[in-house]
Amino acid sequence: MIGGMSNAAYPLSRPRRNRHDAFTRRLVQEHRLHVDNLIWPIFVCEGENQRQKVDSMPGAERVSVDNVVEHVRQAVDLGVPAIAIFPVTPMSVRDAVGTEALNPDNLMCRASRTIKDAFPDLGIIGDVALDPYTDHGHDGVIENGRILNDASVEILRQQALNQARAGNDIIAPSDMMDGRVKAIRETLDGNGYDTTRIMAYTAKYASAFYGPFRDALGSGSLLHGDKKTYQMDPANSDEAMREVEQDLREGADMIMVKPGMPYLDIIRRVRERFEVPTFAYQVSGEYAMLMGAIQNGWLDRDRTIMESLIAFKRAGCNGILTYFALDAARLLRDEH
């Protein structure tokens, strides 16, 4: 029957009522993305007045240090709380043990100091791992084809100190060596950097989704083999809980899951079990995948960006490292 008397066969509870109009949808909305949830990864390169496009990451750029203040100002003006710096280290200074990582005047340190001077209140996150500095593209040192854990950690703790001295507020070890959080914490504390935070890449998976990032950094063609002896197997979930437990015990202040969208289940488990600040990295391959479809006109740009990011909030993230940070911040600003 249409109109007239109600049909008792229909339910009293109708979930659609709360979707009836915009104001009701706003009232019942469970999760919101805020500009405070965004971290913008940037690429810095050598040279003067450089702004290089990254083919596999449309819209992303590598900028030289003389352009970095102008580049980062976009994030500051939009209210993005933090950036993450990734250096494109020239082949000429890469070697087997990543010596350049310890140079106080390396690209990361110069960029960090320059940005800190210009924007003292902006959070600077500095990745710690050897892959931007090694000529083999691995995150640690190699002996007889094996990535050595403890020898790598000894270098990583010095790298972390080098970057803290250059103004990194948050040290983000992305190497996946065992025990590196403890070693870095001790080294920072022992040198007066007890307030420098550690955001641990705790559950970092051996993923195909990092491909475009390796293009951006120029480490893709260098890499021999894969990273499966230190990064996690995408088939595993319980193991991520053990990794989180260990990093928290070793002094991590914040936990990261990486990649993001294919690993929302891991984020949810971490959040429910540990209730600690939890972050995700929406990595280069996720960005490339979405941008590819957006550029083809197959997906709506703004809605796709925002839906991909709210998924992280729903899963339990405090924040997201995303190459869409500026786009999302603009969309949030223009929302009302």
Ligand X SMILES: NCC(=O)CCC(=O)O
Contacts 24+ apart (CB under 8 A), 135-139: 135/91, 135/94, 135/95, 135/96, 135/222, 136/96, 136/222, 136/223, 136/224, 137/214, 137/219, 137/220, 137/222, 137/223, 137/224, 138/223, 138/224, 138/227, 139/174, 139/175, 139/176, 139/177, 139/227, 139/230
Which is it for the CA torsion 160, 165, 168, 169, positive or negative? positive
CB of 174 to ligand X, least distance (A): 4
CB atoms within 10 A of CB 142: 17
210: partner contacted, choices ligand X, Mg ion, none (Cβ within 5-8 A by kind):
ligand X
127: partner contacted, choices Mg ion, ligand X, none (Cβ within 5-8 A by kind):
ligand X
CB of 218 to ligand X, least distance (A): 13
Chosen residue from 243, 250, 286, 327 binding Mg ion by CB under 5 A: 243
Segment interacting with Mg ion (CB under 5 A) among 108-116, 243-251, 290-298, 327-335:
243-251
Closer Cβ to Mg ion, 139 or 243, answer by number: 243
Closer Cβ to ligand X, 215 or 253, answer by number: 215
**Do residues 292 and 242 lie in contact, with contact meaning Cβ atoms separated by under 8 Å?**
no
Give the residue from 116, 135, 131, 125 showing the smallest Cα distance to 160: 125
CA angle at 122 for the pair 313 and 284, rounded to the nearest 5°: 50
CB of 84 to ligand X, least distance (A): 8
CB of 139 to ligand X, least distance (A): 8
Segment interacting with Mg ion (CB under 5 A) among 160-168, 236-244, 263-271, 296-304:
236-244
Asked if residue 127 binds Mg ion (CB under 5 A), the reply is no
Instruction: Give the strand pairing for 146-147 and 142-143.
Output: antiparallel
What binding mask, one character per residue, do residues 157-196 give for Mg ion by CB under 5 A, x or -?
Answer: ----------------------------------------
How far is Cα 256 from Cα 319, in angstroms, rounded to an integer? 9
283: partner contacted, choices Mg ion, ligand X, none (Cβ within 5-8 A by kind):
ligand X
243: partner contacted, choices Mg ion, ligand X, none (Cβ within 5-8 A by kind):
Mg ion
How far is Cα 159 from Cα 182, in angstroms, rounded to an integer? 14
How far is Cα 137 from Cα 218, in angstroms, rounded to an integer? 9
Which is it for the CA torsion 98, 236, 181, 41, positive or negative? positive
219: partner contacted, choices ligand X, Mg ion, none (Cβ within 5-8 A by kind):
none
CB of 49 to ligand X, least distance (A): 25
Q: At what angle do helices 107-118 and 149-165 cross, to 10 degrees?
A: 30
Closer Cβ to Mg ion, 107 or 153, answer by number: 153
205: partner contacted, choices ligand X, Mg ion, none (Cβ within 5-8 A by kind):
none
Segment interacting with Mg ion (CB under 5 A) among 111-119, 235-243, 255-263, 293-301:
235-243
Applying CB under 6 A, which residues contact ligand X? Answer: 127, 174, 210, 213, 283-285
Active-site amino acid positions: 204, 258
CB of 200 to ligand X, least distance (A): 12
Closer Cβ to ligand X, 56 or 64, answer by number: 56
Closer Cβ to Mg ion, 245 or 300, answer by number: 245
- Is 243 marked as binding a ligand? yes
Contacts 24+ apart (CB under 8 A), 263-266: 263/203, 263/205, 264/311, 264/312, 264/315, 265/237, 265/315, 266/203, 266/237, 266/240
Closer Cβ to ligand X, 320 or 331, answer by number: 320
Q: Which residues are annotated as a binding site?
A: 243
Q: Which residues are annotated as a binding site for Mg(2+)?
A: 243
**Binding residues for Mg ion (CB under 5 A):** 243
